[in-house]
Structure 1
Amino acid sequence: MGSTETMIAHESHSKDQAPAREMMLRNSEASCLGGSTPQKLIHEVVVKYKASVPREEPHQANASSHEEEVPSPADKAYGENGTVRQQMVYLPDMPDEFRNVCDWLNWAFDFDDPFDGGELRDRPEEAKKLVDNLLVTLEATSLEGVVVSENILVEVFRSVWLRLARDSSKETQGRFRGSMTDSCNGLIQQTEACIDPNNFDLNGYLATRCQTIAAYPLYAMVEYCYGIAISDEVIACKSIQTIQRLSTELTVLQNDVLSYHKEKRLGFEHTLVSIYIRQGKTQTEAYDCVDQLMKDRYRDWYLALAELPMWGEDVGKQVQVYIQGCQNMVVANLNWSFKTERYFGREHWNVRRTRIVPFTE
């Protein structure tokens, strides 16, 4: 890294409280950082969602005990992973289906990492081969006649898919299948763009990232876990489509801010922050730009809610569960990002408490 400064993403307070808090942070963190490190203030990057207190899975202890006694197919491939905790926020009250979502999320990180700065990041032909092998599994809803793959990632995904297909509607299966296909195609586009970083512009990047972050498969899993029977016509409603898009974009924006330092260390500078910096902005200005994008989407979220059609009591209740699941995903991802060592190493709790992270300008 270059010279290190610090960034303080301060929490929202009333005007009379803010100066005192900023001074407190300056004094306490200057001490932690050796007393002479320059500091900068930027807008709070997580705004309202950060204030949400997540409700965790009430069956967490039972699920952990069951996991030790009866390993799922994914457990045979993976060790302990902090991703499980994310889903304790995302899908409270759903012990069995919750387990399948945990397996999918643990799989998703291992599947994504080779594309996201790993060995496949600039190898589109090899990436396409893996994706094609994976998507073939979505053509069958049972093991009858299936040829087992030598790739453990493919087989873990098959296990998740078969469990979902067994216990969900045809509409939900179709949405999961379609969203996984879109996500995988986005990963291939990402590897092609990585060959030349200048292939990324803001709009094209955001569109691709909304595919590759794999949020849409999780929306289908909300339906699967809660037994929701929502028609394609209802899901296609403009308001719900907007809410899906905004939830996905908010997740992308949060992730790009929090993962920027890790990815820069790996030499994988394909985040929204990196794009703004390549356009001539400082790191502070880049964070400010992302902050404004997030605020715009919070506003649009409430406008979309206000424009929801009336479908009657039964459908209306299911739609509300679905929308809450979309929001829970954003909250879960944000809280998990500060609980894991993935982005900030052993400093993750400190970063959450102080909102201070290293500058790399």
Structure 2
Amino acid sequence: MTSFEAFSPKAQDAYNRCDFNLLACLAFPTASKEHVRSACDLMHVLFMFDEYSDRSTPSEVRKQKDAVMDALRNPHTPRPKGEWIGGEAIRQFWERTIQNATPVSQKRFIQSMDEYLEEVVQESIDKDDHRILDIKSYINARRRTGAVKPSFSIIELGFEIPDEVMSHPAIQEVVLAAIDMIAFSNDIMSYNLEQRRGDELHNMVTCVMNEYHTDVNGAVLWTSDFLLGAEERFRTALAALPQWEEPLNSQVKAYCDGVGQWVRANDDWSFEGERYFGNKGLEIKENRWMSLLPKKRATEIGPVHIDSSLL
């Protein structure tokens, strides 16, 4: 990612401390070498887009989305000069990835990326209007803005699972429950950093505080209860999976196992990387306590280094 020069040297240093390769390797522990490379590349391009979209106007985010989607649909065509650098980053990722991906997995990845990016455009509009969503609306939006579903697509790069199987209600519920566990636990993890940067409007903690007139602790506890419900939904749906003929049955099982693996990977990485807690992540994981960071609005695009002494 350094070669794209997407961030200033200071922001790039903070970006490197996030260790997105660790997240990819935790999430895909049984993947082939080629698919692990795709997973690492995808984490980088997704987080690059996240950093840029958080600091861009709605019209700029729309252009970023258009560049990404055009690159996915035309991976062998060089990107135009002067375009946002993310277009070339996603093009290179996808040009390598499709060499080891089945057609059906490619189709679903592009579809899920389109849904994710479109929701981020809407998120940027809501932020520009300083709008805090009600909890129900936020849940529906966050299930897409977390980019979890595109990430799940890496699990099936080598699989031939047809649409009619992937759309089975039990599989859909496994996926949805896992998305909820990942996206809304991330809201808890990221809230402190986001409120420091003045970027906390699109966060479950903020939505709960606004709707139930509670404080941060009360909102975190409410979200934790929601996560427990998602965990129960996941287990119930997993137990309800039907049986298919081989090799389809083994592929479905591997896919659902991979979806579950993502939940634990996201949790471990959040504390082991330095994106949210600096170098105090493992200490905070054990003690379950930290102080709110003083507010300091970000002035440039890219991650910021967390001063752990403030936590």
TM over 0.5: yes
Q: Does 1:206 align with 2:139?
A: yes
Partner of 1:327: 260
Aligned to 2:204: 272
Which protein shows a greater Rg? Answer: 1
The alpha-carbon deviation at position 155 of structure 1 amounts to 0.7
Contact persistence 1:149–1:155 (CA under 8 A): no
Aligned to 2:3: 76
- Number of residues paired by the alignment? 280
Aligned to 1:239: 170
User: 1:309 aligns to what?
Assistant: 242
Once the two structures are TM-superposed, the CA of residue 360 in structure 1 deviates from its matched residue by 7.6
Distance 1:354 1:339 in 2: 15
Cα shift at 1:215: 0.8
1:138 is aligned with what amino acid?
A: L
Report % sequence identity. Answer: 26
Match of 1:291 in 2: 224
Please give the secondary structure, in 2, of the residue aligned with 1:311: coil
Counterparts in 2 of 1:146-185, with a 5 A limit? 146-150=78-82, 151-185=84-118
SS in 1 for 2:53: coil
Matched, 1:124 2:48: no
Structure-2-length-normalised TM-score? 0.85
The answer for the alignment partner of 1:191 in structure 2 is 124
How far apart are 1:152 and its partner, in Å?
2.3
Counterparts of 2:122 and 2:132, CA distance in 1? 10
Aligned pairs (5 A) from 1:212-223: 212-223=145-156
Aligned to 1:92: 29
Query: Which residue of structure 2 aligns with residue 26 of structure 1?
Result: none
Residue 36 of structure 1: aligned partner: none
Q: Does 1:105 align with 2:37?
A: no
Query: Structure 1: how far apart are the matches of 2:182 and 2:153?
Result: 16
Q: Judge conservation of contact 1:141–1:166 (CA < 8 Å) in 2.
A: no
Q: Does the residue aligned with 1:309 lie in a helix, a strand or coil? A: coil
1:62 paired residue number: none
1:114 partnered with 2:47: no
| Alignment deviations for residues 5-57 of structure 1 (CA, whole Å, 9 cap, x no partner) | xxxxxxxxxxxxxxxxxxxxxxxxxxxxxxxxxxxxxxxxxxxxxxxxxxxxx
Per the TM alignment, residue 302 of structure 1 is displaced from its structure 2 partner at its CA by 1.4
Structure 1 residues without counterparts, runs of 5 or longer: 1-73
**Which residue number corresponds to residue 63 of structure 1?**
none
Larger mean Cα displacement after TM superposition, 276-285 or 317-326? 276-285
Contact kept, 8 Å, 1:251 with 1:330, in 2: the verdict is yes
Supply the distance in 2 between the matched residues of 1:346 and 1:302 (Cα, whole angstroms).
33
- Aligned equivalents of 1:104 and 1:168: distance in 2? 14
CA RMSD of aligned residues (A): 1.9
> Structure 2 unaligned runs (5+)?
6-11, 295-311
Deviation at 1:149, TM superposition (A): 4.7
AA aligned opposite 2:53: F
| Cα drift, residue 148 of structure 1 | 4.0
Separation in structure 2 between the aligned mates of residue 272 and residue 234 of structure 1, nearest angstrom: 32
State the AA in 1 paired with 2:217: T
Deviations 1:100-146 (A, max 9, x none): 21011012111111223xx21xx211111111122111222534xx4
How many Å separate the matches in 1 of 2:265 and 2:279?
20
Distance 2:230 2:79 in 1: 45
Which structure is higher in helix share? 2
- Structure 1 residue 147 displacement after superposition: 4.2
